[in-house]
Structure 1
């Protein structure tokens, strides 16, 4: 009896110790319990020893089990096997078709009699395509159901730890409580949360049917990804077809937890990832000259994944209407582009009255880009932006965009090129269009074909032996061009004649060059250019004495003219170094270097206006005073490539350039040096034409460029006239043949031009007026050495401060413990001044000078970020000619995380405003928006 008592106590102690122990997952070995039915991988398994009404179980540690517990387990194994066999038979009869795999990090309780399994701690259940994770999971094998729930946890972001996450295929749902049936694939969800494309859907209660459709009661739909959304659409009932759409009943908008009186009886949101066709809802409003309107409504055709089509229309109550077609196309690794064609019929005023006008206008935009990987030898690109001059004036969108209204020039181009790398030949053709919307002038070139042959050396030996011969350095190339162009009004372009109105021709250019070195220091270059022009017509002129008018006779045929010129140039570089006296200047300055670059060239070309060439002609006429005059002209002067110039050329040109730099010790590194530019360039050029008898000397041109600051270059160009003014018999000034040069007297100053641009921001102010350590870094404004500091971007500074504050959930502070205040801003000033002789002014006969005229331009633009999300931009200027402000605009934008608000105003030269408030998500950008703006005709008046 005593031995039995001891065995009973030992058995009880072992069972208590094993059952109460928390087993680590590292000591657990996955174990198959039922063949092909249930796979269990857990830390600790609790099994019933015998069927009872209340769970009486022990915990089996598969590794740390002692011999006594192992004996007890083997004694009861036959009982467990019979229970599991009955449970497996019930599950198969209820429709379980595949193994149910479940695991838990903490523990698992399995009741063999009722077929219930309880999982605790990061539990996972997998059945076919269904996956479920939760902190607590219970599985009823008899009813084929699984129930999951999270654990309340105040430290978690959403107040729960291990919320149930259910996924089947591509569908994924998060909830508070979830129940799912394996056999019927139906589920009941409480507090559901799911993401569909750009939107997030939540609901208090939801049911899932066997096809995956979810029925939600009291739901919310939003595109805001914040845990507490800034806005949402409250849905009384909704039906969700995953990856397709959401259909809902009565709904209203809630912004910042405030319900708004914006409700709809029903609606839907599409979620399809594929393109889908559908109607585009129009916008409505009124315009004082056009009336009430419906615009930007139509239909979208999702043709396929490579291209689409959008048809839009607009209609106004006073009779105006418009239509447009837009298409986007893209073929991966081949090409991409877009096309827009728009037509407008604008009617203003009352029909039958004098103020009634009707204008037809259209616009074509085409953008095409070829992928570089598509064809390395051929490419096609297009950038077409053509519109009639009345289109932007009549287009409602242009009224709210001052940039479109002030745009006076439009350019378009389409180009294609190919090359034959084996022979160095390339072909390219372009279509160029320049349009002036102010006077409706069009300049069109179609086509413009170019043929280029790369430089080659015709005298170079294939197998060179020894040194390179002088004639082997001679090279040549070829360039050919065929053009067909016209300049006319836009309403005449389609009625023009190809031969009479268009200019066409062909041009050939063959440059021959050779570069040599003389005396090791002089670089000499010889060149000769041959140019040939081919035209299809010429215009002969004569004088009709009867009608006292010029007569032009155009003849069509093949006409060829050519010219040539040769030149020789020599240049070298001279270096000078000066080391300052250490006793006077100290050891800060190491050396000063001066680079002197002289260049001399001689150019020669014959006089192609002589009768030998036949490029020029003349006729006589008698004026009203009876004087006979001779008029010289060229029959080809109006052609596309013009005509060779008059006069013989024997010109000598010289040019001098100077550069001065200083090398000093770096303030940051005692062993380092940095370079400072004193004068980046100081140069002058002039020429002398020995082949002419009048004005042999050209004007003197001087240039100065300074780089004393890192982000700014000062440049100045000045012109000095060589020849002085003289007075004719009537007392009118003209440029004579006497020079202005004299002892102690400079030539006449004709003018100069200078542009200045400067950007001011907090970094520069801190560098100038901040602490000493910041002012010491001001050398980086002009330093280009290895220790150059790059100024930070305003956006980067804001992001850096934001992340620093989020890192420890504390506001960023400075060295003194105060919270950092950051308001990034920048202001850019642009000033340009031009000084030139005013030949329309009054001539001063005492000084023999015209007065000087100054032309000035001033532009100011800037931006300021009040806080994260608030941005203010402005731009203005001053017109010194009209003594008024130039185009002045200001805009304010606010990023509301998932909403965006912007307001802009134009103050000069006319006034208008524009206010927009819309959702950022593409799904709701057209549905949730508010626009308020004024046109030019009904713009607000500022007093």
Structure 2
């Protein structure tokens, strides 16, 4: 052996001796490092800290990863510790029996440190999993003997606490500041808990969890605000019990708004949570009126009947005797039907009983909407749209004050319809009920029931197996419509007092049109037609002059009466096309072509005189008027629901023309593209001449025009021109005489009526103009994209100059905020012209213009503020007839709104502030004043 090898052996022997001496100087202990152990500890004592420090001092040369988990490295360290213990005479204690039923799994991103007294420390996003329980925290301390775990967050470099404990089990997820939990007893102690229950959040306080999963809190907070650290409002709970996903029961609690405790407290509270459909109490709204007194409104009970239908019964009561009931329901069945209804009943008492100003009004409302899914039954359909209210309901209902539609709507209509199509036949039957009411004079027009039997168009002479060309008679078609109607027009308060026989009108009508279309000389379309109409009535009214009373006596006789009429007509129509190319200096370079489509048509219709005595549809009686005998012709069936047969022969020739004007222009965006522009969509005019009449042969001239101004805006107007002149009769009243205007030198016709209406909505995008750069970009994108070496630099500059903040959604440009205020303004305008008073000097009617203007708008100056209004202007009174203004403010978890009617007979205001969550919807405050508060004192 060389001297050099001897030196190496001596050095190695000395190193091992020093190492064994150093190890034998440590306290006797045994360490177990495992991946899963069922025993845990909750705290780290100073003695434990010293032990951890002693281990690190013993192995100063070993890396820090010895306390983390690769298995091979941990095994090597464990073997060293075991070998050192085996040199001592002390024997390790036997392993204890695990008190847990399953394996506990745990991991950590930073490190795991194990101590000899069965304690473990986990640092850096530690996760402990036991059965369906999971605990996440940045620092977790485990006691393996007591099966407990203690979790806490740790401060980061900025001093902020991160990695707070998050506890998950089958009842939900809970975040807290600290958490101590025993896996064996399933009990825990939590501070500053944060958990979502239903629509709200439970935060703060000291909490204990029992084995059943219930939580007992002290000094907690309940809020629907998702800002957990600084909620805008909360209920401070002195003590409470929470059953996850079920309910929270609290003791005394008070409201804290914006960090300020308010003197609003409750002795106890109950907050139910359920994911199921359930019934519950609807809390009322408190308020007062000067006329009707203090009130409780919109309180009642909500019935969750089943998964298809619900029902909310609410009511209102006033201290001065007024009261009301309301029922609301929604129903739906998938692939079958859906709908909703709202029924209301109001009893309004004003004034004191026995006094002259005492009033008692009873009103009701019925709103029903029903629609059937098209997949439910392909042959039968049922639909309903009912909006029926008595005239005083909207005036007495507070909810209608700020509904512009309810207040300004004069006519309301309701329709219920059921239709059945007979399979494999052209026949269908329908039953309809219609109600139309005028709020202005309380007039009802009721039609119930209406039965209709319809046969769609059929070709009775068409061959089943055609061979060769279609015969002329195969083009003949006919259809049939049979209608039974029962209707009445009366006042609202007399409807239920009316007689079904005397007051209601009923009858049946049959309509059979027969028509065909043939081509003549290739370009001319000939359409002959025959129409037959039959009316069936159960009564008629005969009239007779009574000389003694000098009045007309009417006698109603009952029976079966048939009133019919028929007519024949034939029409011819063709189309003529004209093209025009303008000269270059008149826009010819841009305008390619202008096309004019001219469609003339002429028709002839004829019918006999059904006023002849041989038909019996018209009768005559004589009366004495101003000492002269005058014959009066009348129809006993003129009162019928379908009218009577017309009198007088018909041999009418009608002339109609229709025009369409379009042009093609070169597109500005694409040199090869062409755009088509409609100048006049449709311009029509028509007049007829009755050759069989003995006077007044010419009809009025009827015209109409349709112009497409923009893609979504059309201007449509119609006009009627009078073709005859007027004179005064012996009583000084104007009458139309058989002198055409062109014979009197007054032109072809005089405008007697016209009108148009339009609506348009202006907004931010209305006045935006596309820049030239955008146009160039659009043109470039349609063709090849040019290559730019500085594209990347350009994109970077654009990204730097234009930004959009993620949290607020506001645009930034060059470091400055872009001023963007969304707004909209809708304008509805209608104007009509007609005959007014008669000018005896000119022997002409003076024109009268009727206008109607309504407008509504909305503006949002900031993200959370919004202003809206709607109004209508009365041109006759020259003042605003109705106006409703509203202001809303979104306060994160709260909402505030104010509505007021500044002008008109219904001046009023309403202020409302409430929590957004439906669970705490009773946390609100309302202040209102209406027309009943403006009492007149005498």
TM band (smaller chain): 0.7 to 0.9
In structure 2, the residue matched to 1:90 is 97
Tell me if 1:146 matches 2:149. Answer: yes
SS of the residue 1:905 aligns to: strand
Tell me if 1:868 matches 2:863. Answer: yes
In structure 2, the residue matched to 1:281 is 283
CA pair 584-98 structure 1, distance change in 2 beyond 3 A:
same
Q: Among residues 832, 848, 854, which one is paired with 1:853 in the alignment?
A: 848
On the 8 A contact 1:235/1:251 being kept in 2, the answer is: yes
User: Offset at 1:822?
Assistant: 1.1
In structure 1, the residue matched to 2:139 is 136
In structure 2, the residue matched to 1:715 is 716
In structure 2, the residue matched to 1:818 is 816
CA pair 333-831 structure 1, distance change in 2 beyond 3 A:
closer
- TM normalised by structure 2 equals 0.84
On the 8 A contact 2:35/2:106 being kept in 1, the answer is: no
Tell me if 1:181 matches 2:182. Answer: yes
User: Offset at 1:400?
Assistant: 5.5
In structure 1, the residue matched to 2:527 is 525
**Partner Cα distance (1:306, 1:475) in 2:** 47
CA pair 687-873 structure 1, distance change in 2 beyond 3 A:
same
On the 8 A contact 1:399/1:936 being kept in 2, the answer is: no
In structure 2, the residue matched to 1:684 is 685
- Where does structure 1 lack aligned partners over 5 or more consecutive residues? 14-30, 39-49, 780-802
**Partner Cα distance (2:904, 2:261) in 1:** 42
In structure 2, the residue matched to 1:786 is none
**Partner Cα distance (2:355, 2:935) in 1:** 28
User: Offset at 1:891?
Assistant: 1.6
User: Offset at 1:193?
Assistant: 0.8
- Alignment: residue pair count: 872
**Partner Cα distance (1:278, 1:737) in 2:** 76
User: Offset at 1:918?
Assistant: 1.3
Tell me if 1:904 matches 2:899. Answer: yes
- TM normalised by structure 1 equals 0.84
Q: Among residues 257, 263, 272, which one is paired with 2:274 in the alignment?
A: 272
**Partner Cα distance (2:437, 2:18) in 1:** 100
Is the deviation greater in 341-350 or in 750-759?
A: 750-759
SS of the residue 2:97 aligns to: helix
Q: Among residues 445, 448, 452, which one is paired with 1:446 in the alignment?
A: 448
Map 1:315-326 onto structure 2 (within 5 A).
Answer: 315-326=317-328
**Partner Cα distance (2:428, 2:352) in 1:** 59
In structure 1, the residue matched to 2:104 is 100
On the 8 A contact 1:220/1:232 being kept in 2, the answer is: yes
SS of the residue 2:164 aligns to: coil
Tell me if 1:191 matches 2:187. Answer: no
CA pair 132-528 structure 1, distance change in 2 beyond 3 A:
farther
In structure 2, the residue matched to 1:805 is 804
In structure 2, the residue matched to 1:309 is 311
In structure 2, the residue matched to 1:460 is 462
In structure 1, the residue matched to 2:173 is 172
In structure 2, the residue matched to 1:22 is none
CA pair 832-439 structure 1, distance change in 2 beyond 3 A:
closer
CA pair 268-137 structure 1, distance change in 2 beyond 3 A:
same
Map 1:60-459 onto structure 2 (within 5 A).
Answer: 90-91=97-98, 94=99, 96-109=100-113, 114-153=117-156, 159-227=160-228, 228-399=230-401, 401=403, 403-459=405-461
User: Offset at 1:917?
Assistant: 1.1
CA pair 729-412 structure 1, distance change in 2 beyond 3 A:
closer
CA pair 692-774 structure 1, distance change in 2 beyond 3 A:
farther
User: Offset at 1:395?
Assistant: 3.2
CA pair 810-691 structure 1, distance change in 2 beyond 3 A:
closer
In structure 2, the residue matched to 1:610 is 612
On the 8 A contact 1:934/1:940 being kept in 2, the answer is: no
User: Offset at 1:198?
Assistant: 0.9
Q: Among residues 506, 513, 516, which one is paired with 2:515 in the alignment?
A: 513
In structure 2, the residue matched to 1:601 is 603
User: Offset at 1:934?
Assistant: 0.9
On the 8 A contact 1:912/1:939 being kept in 2, the answer is: no
Map 1:490-889 onto structure 2 (within 5 A).
Answer: 490-582=492-584, 585-623=587-625, 625-728=626-729, 733-741=734-742, 745-755=747-757, 757-767=759-769, 805-807=804-806, 812-814=811-813, 817-838=815-836, 840-845=837-842, 848-889=843-884
On the 8 A contact 1:842/1:850 being kept in 2, the answer is: yes
CA pair 184-581 structure 1, distance change in 2 beyond 3 A:
same
User: Offset at 1:102?
Assistant: 3.4
User: Offset at 1:823?
Assistant: 1.5
User: Offset at 1:698?
Assistant: 1.1
- Where does structure 2 lack aligned partners over 5 or more consecutive residues? 1-5, 20-32, 40-50, 60-64, 780-801
In structure 2, the residue matched to 1:920 is 916
| Higher Cα radius of gyration | 2
On the 8 A contact 1:913/1:939 being kept in 2, the answer is: no
1:521-569: CA deviation from partner (whole Å, max 9, x where unpaired): 2233232222222222222222333433333332333322222223222
**Partner Cα distance (1:151, 1:392) in 2:** 62
On the 8 A contact 1:400/1:933 being kept in 2, the answer is: no
**Partner Cα distance (1:904, 1:940) in 2:** 21
In structure 2, the residue matched to 1:18 is none
**Partner Cα distance (1:756, 1:537) in 2:** 46
**Partner Cα distance (2:326, 2:385) in 1:** 19
User: Offset at 1:711?
Assistant: 4.1
**Partner Cα distance (1:155, 1:52) in 2:** 27
**Partner Cα distance (1:154, 1:606) in 2:** 104
On the 8 A contact 2:287/2:926 being kept in 1, the answer is: no
**Partner Cα distance (1:739, 1:84) in 2:** 130
**Partner Cα distance (1:696, 1:202) in 2:** 89
SS of the residue 1:494 aligns to: helix
SS of the residue 1:423 aligns to: coil
On the 8 A contact 2:292/2:322 being kept in 1, the answer is: yes
1:763-821: CA deviation from partner (whole Å, max 9, x where unpaired): 34443xx9666899999xxxxxxxxxxxxxxxxxxxxxxx963238896333x543211
**Partner Cα distance (1:85, 1:536) in 2:** 113
SS of the residue 1:404 aligns to: helix
On the 8 A contact 1:186/1:208 being kept in 2, the answer is: yes
On the 8 A contact 2:287/2:294 being kept in 1, the answer is: yes
User: Offset at 1:921?
Assistant: 1.0
**Partner Cα distance (1:747, 1:841) in 2:** 17
CA pair 758-339 structure 1, distance change in 2 beyond 3 A:
closer
**Partner Cα distance (1:518, 1:537) in 2:** 48
The structure, 1 or 2, with the larger RCO (C-alpha pairs under 8 Å, 6+ apart) is: 2
CA pair 527-367 structure 1, distance change in 2 beyond 3 A:
same
